[in-house]
Amino acid sequence: MAGILEAKPRVGYSYCRDQQLARYRRTLDGIKVKDVCSVPVVIDESDSVYDGIVMIFLENVGSLIVLSEGKLVGMVSRKDIIKASMAAVDVKTMPIGMIMTRMPNLHLAYPTDNIYNAAKRLIDCGIDSLPVVEKRQRDGQVVYEVIGRLTKTTITKLFVEVLEMSDVEA
Amino acid sequence: MAGILEAKPRVGYSYCRDQQLARYRRTLDGIKVKDVCSVPVVIDESDSVYDGIVMIFLENVGSLIVLSEGKLVGMVSRKDIIKASMAAVDVKTMPIGMIMTRMPNLHLAYPTDNIYNAAKRLIDCGIDSLPVVEKRQRDGQVVYEVIGRLTKTTITKLFVEVLEMSDVEA
């Protein structure tokens, strides 16, 4: 019944004119991070800051996920890049690993996280992007394999799509 | 009745168990840009790029609204700052007006815009932030006075708040 009575035998029909509300609620209830996250944009920690800048422009993203031997080791934001540029370092030779925010100081999202929790984490932590990871064991160590990214753009897109679905504009 | 029947005299009560749905829809219907936008973070076009960088860090924002004699003339994003840094210009002497995206090439939001329209504009135009403006006549010319900013952070916060209100987590 999804919380809304649609018909009452022997009493008559008592319907909800806007059944989209129920659909709206059901949709949001069911959305997981894995359903909406984007493809991760990754760089190796040995690549240069310059390579990172080029990638930020080519991929049109706000931050890069930094890997070492395929596992998550850090994140680099546009702010980190600006700081590095200001510090008069040679961006062509400095490895991006030198300016990244390093594990374990990263906030993460998991594929099965509720979208509400992930969005709240973005706001509470004051960040623009979360790497979406799966925890694995490799050689007896816990490693995080990156399978996506979840950003404020993801949430804004979802906000628009859900409003379109529930036809708020109509 | 907001699309949901709550009581039917002479037939008996036919209620919606989850009345939060109605509240949810009503809330989203009524939200205007002016209800949720943030305080604008502005800089004068004659200020230096360096001043802009300092302001981006101090105010913790993704972009700055550029004014000239109190009226909107442009926007500067973190990407514009990175480009300028790469171009080996002297950020301490170059005015921020040299690197901004200039009017009339800006996307704008108005205080009475529906929040859906503003969020859709952010996505469709691939931008992070909209200046919220009021159109005025000054000396026979149309000028835009900035009264706020609307960003993907604003929308993400709203998404979280609305979900909390409708208690999706419960």
CA nearest to B163 within chain A: A116
- Give tens-digit pLDDT for A74-121: 999 999 999 988 887 888 999 999 999 999 999 999 999 999 999 999
Q: Which two structure tokens, joined as six digits, stand for A27?
A: 């949709």
Of B16, B29, B78, the CB nearest to A168: B29
Query: By the CB < 8 Å criterion, does B82 face chain A?
Result: yes
> What pLDDT, on the 0 to 100 scale, is given for residue B13?
40
How much is the average pLDDT of B133-145?
93
Please state, in angstroms and rounded to a whole number, the distance separating the CA atoms of residues B130 and B108.
5
| Residues ≥6 apart with Cβ < 8 Å to B58 | none
Give the distance from residue B142's alpha carbon to the nearest chain A alpha carbon, in angstroms.
29
B103: left (phi over 0), alpha (psi -120 to 50) or beta: beta
Query: By the CB < 8 Å criterion, does A152 face chain B?
Result: yes
Q: Label residue A12 by pLDDT band (50, 70, 90).
A: very low
What ipTM describes this predicted complex?
A: 0.82
B166: left (phi over 0), alpha (psi -120 to 50) or beta: alpha
Going by the DSSP 8-state scheme, the letter that residue B33 receives in this structure is H
Give the distance from residue A87's alpha carbon to the nearest chain B alpha carbon, in angstroms.
11
Which amino acid is residue B158, in one-letter code? L
Global model pTM greater than 0.90: no
- Give tens-digit pLDDT for B155-169: 999 988 887 775 543
Please choose, from the candidates B23, B17, B16, B18, the residue with its C-alpha nearest in 3D space to the C-alpha of residue B2: B23
**C-alpha dihedral sign at A44, A50, A53, A58:** negative
- Give tens-digit pLDDT for A20-45: 555 565 667 678 999 999 999 999 99
Please choose, from the candidates B59, B19, B24, the residue with its C-alpha nearest in 3D space to the C-alpha of residue B40: B59
Looking at chain B, list the stretches that DSSP marks H as alpha helix, in order from N- to C-terminal side: 20-30, 33-36, 49-59, 78-86, 115-125, 152-166
Secondary structure element (H or E) that encloses residue B50, with its range: helix B49-59
Query: By the CB < 8 Å criterion, does A168 face chain B?
Result: yes
- Tokens 């929790």: give the residue: A117
